[in-house]
Amino acid sequence: MSGSSTAAASSSGFAPTAAISKEQAEAIYSRGLEGIIAGETAVCSIEQGGLWYRGYEIHDLANSATFEEVAFLLLEGHKPSAAELARFKSEIVAERPLHPSVTAFIESVGGFLASGRAVPMDVLRTAISMLGHTDPDAQDNSAQANLRKSKRLLAKIPTVIGHMQNVIDGRAIIGREHGGDKSLGHAANLLYLMTGRQPSAEYARVVDVSLILYAEHDFNASTFTSRVIAGTLSDLHGAVAGGIAALKGPLHGGANEMAMEMLKEIMRDVGEKGIGTPAVEQWMHKAFETKRKLMGFGHRVYKNGDHRAPILHALGRTIAATDTQNPGGHHALRWFELGEQVQKIMLDRKNIHPNVDFPCGMTYFTMGIPVPQYTPIFVASRITGWAAHVMEQHANNRIIRPLSRYTGEPPRKW
Ligand code: SDX
């Protein structure tokens, strides 16, 4: 390295630390931290070959667990006994209602939400900060306080989502006093809060499985954001607000909304009659030529397919095929037929697989869930993963502070 750039390097603050030399640091540099181990966790393991939450494999959980059981597993660290699960569920139901100031805030931005000037992910992010102002444990980072706060957020996020949808629809707030219907489970109550109708057991189960699939995923961008914030010993609400801001991005959680918007764009361009014809191939060819990122496809870690995608695809397709009354309309199955053709072209031409966000879009659309609520529902699930990682970080903390490679001007006189 030339003298001036060495000087520049030292002015950028690089100094060999006890742990690693400058040569080692340069050798392991990887853009976007691709392939870099940035910390340790006992919460989740993700590899090409699988996905485990605290040792339980995702297919096992999707087939045999409920989201409440998975939430307990992630937050409290083990599979709940029947008594523990009953206690956990009653705690969550009791914590569903919002502080009146938070409901008043959501009502106050109803016009901005209805016009699209404010988007639900941003209003949810603000509501989380407001929930922090009204939480008696807000500034307490102890394990017990963090667990209490995690359960409150798990309980209240669906209520925020429901209240937002009510003001968007110009209707009275549903569940203002109790945060919904106390007799309903977590997933069913989420749908009830948005629509005012008790969902079918089938719809509730599909949402429940989607919440299980979305709950946790190792050091993804939003979880790592939350850990960096917790690593300064900042509080859980701040870490979750940061996680929401990161998840909103279309390269991350926002892809489930953008994947459905992309399918709607293709459907508009080729028409229902164009499904299965070369018209879709031509559309995709144009997208490839313009280097367009197709939403719901690709993954930083999964290069041979996202284990979660086929699980959700099958559930959504079944609803589209069998429930002719589904809100997605009589042609709901057409969305899956179009989606499957897009998937085949992506695989044949680019060897790129769909991630969990692709089937999520089609599935939620078939159930009549408004598109701008897809990523907030992702938050209603991922709050469990974020909170588990924040608690783990606080329990055995070292501030997260990587280095950078300096590429700016050499030192110069002012
Ligand atoms: C989630 O990390 C997690 O665990 C996230 C998540 C979780 O549970 O938390 O799994 C949830 O966020 C899933 C991902 C949702 N995002 C999207 O669907 C957005 C579209 N996908 C891409 O932007 C991309 O695939 C990423 C962001 C997901 C991964 O990006 P990488 O690892 O940086 O890969 P890359 O962009 O370097 O792509 C490698 C190549 C590139 O080709 P070249 O430029 O080298 O020629 O593959 C191409 C890319 O152009 N490519 C795509 C593509 N994804 C990758 N080309 C078109 N469409 C795509 N979607």
Kindly state the tokens that stand for 316.
Answer: 């959504």
Residues 259 and 336 in one domain: yes
> Are the CB atoms for 210 and 363 separated by under 8 Å?
yes
Determine whether the shortest distance from the Cβ of 352 to ligand 1 is under 6 A: yes
Active-site residue (options: 135, 357, 389, 394): 357
pLDDT tens digit string along 195-233? 999 999 999 999 999 999 999 999 999 999 999 999 999
Do both 289 and 160 map to the same domain?
no
How large is the greatest C-alpha to C-alpha distance in the chain, in angstroms?
73
In a domain, 358, yes or no: yes
Shared-domain flag, residues 227 and 79: yes
Residues 296 and 390 in one domain: no
Q: For residues 57 and 195, state if they share a domain.
A: yes
Residue closest by Cα to atom 32 of ligand 1: 300
Best residue among 293, 353, 381 to mutate for probing ligand 1's pocket (most ligand atoms within 8 Å of CB) is 293
Our measurement of the distance from residue 39's CA atom to the centroid of its chain's CA atoms, rounded to an integer in Å, reads 21
Measuring from atom 57 of ligand 1, which residue has the nearest CA? 293
Is the pLDDT reported for residue 134 higher than 60? yes
Q: Are 274 and 280 in contact (CB under 8 A)?
A: yes
Residue nearest to atom 52 of ligand 1 (CA): 293
Phi and psi angles of residue 346, each rounded to the nearest 5 degrees, phi first: -60, -40
Residue 17 counted as domain residue:
no
Please report whether residue 356 resides in a domain.
yes
Tell me, yes or no, whether 279 lies in a domain: yes
Long-range pairs, 138-142, Cβ under 8 A, ≥24: 138/235, 138/237, 139/235, 141/233, 141/235, 141/236, 141/394
Whether 391 is covered by a domain: the verdict is yes
Token readout for 38 is 């940035």
Compute the distance from residue 348 Cα to the ligand 1 centre, in Å.
Answer: 17
Do 49 and 186 fall within a single domain?
Answer: yes
Q: Are residues 220 and 324 in the same domain?
A: no
Under DSSP, the state recorded for 274 is: G
Whether 371 contacts 208, CB under 8 Å: no
CA dist 86 and 149 (Å) reads: 19
| CA 194, 360, 279, 265 torsion-angle sign | positive
**What's the confidence (pLDDT) of residue 47?**
82
263, 129: one domain: no
Listed residue (245, 237, 244) closest to 132, CA to CA: 237
How many Å apart are CA 259 and CA 251, to the nearest integer? 11
Helix (H) or strand (E) holding 56: strand 56-57
Q: Look up the domain containing 225 and give its range.
A: 44-248+385-395
Q: How far apart, in whole angstroms, are the C-alpha atoms of residue 387 and residue 232? A: 15
Residue 96 near ligand 1, beta carbon < 6 Å: no
- Phi and psi at residue 52, to the nearest 5°: -125, 135
CATH number of the CATH domain containing 301:
1.10.230.10
Q: Does one domain contain both 239 and 267?
A: no
Q: Which contacts (CB < 8 Å, 24+ apart) does range 82-89 have?
A: 88/151, 89/185
- 299 assigned to active site: yes
CA–CA dist 313, 357 (Å, integer): 10
Token pair of 43, please?
Answer: 């919460």
Q: Is the pLDDT of residue 108 over 90?
A: yes
Q: Does residue 339 form part of some domain?
A: yes
Using a 6 Å cutoff on CB, does residue 182 contact ligand 1? Answer: no
Is the pLDDT reported for residue 356 higher than 50?
A: yes
Q: Are residues 220 and 235 in the same domain?
A: yes
Question: 129 and 167 share a domain?
Answer: yes
Is 250's pLDDT higher than 60? Answer: yes
User: What amino acid occupies position 309?
Assistant: A
State the amino acid at position 2 in one-letter form: S
Q: Has residue 400 been placed in a domain?
A: no
8 in Cβ contact with 408 (< 8 Å): yes
Q: Which burial class, exposed, middle or buried, applies to 141 when counting CB atoms under 10 A from its CB (0-12, 13-18, 19+)?
A: buried
Q: Say how far apart CA 139 and CA 141 lie, in whole Å.
A: 6
Task: Render pLDDT for 282-337 as a digit per residue (tens, 0 to 9).
Answer: 999 999 999 999 999 999 999 999 999 999 999 999 999 988 777 765 678 999 99
Our count of domains for the chain comes to 2
CATH number at residue 183: 1.10.580.10
User: Is 241 found in the same domain as 264?
Assistant: no
Per-residue model confidence (pLDDT) at position 10: 44
Whole-number percent of the chain with pLDDT over 90:
91
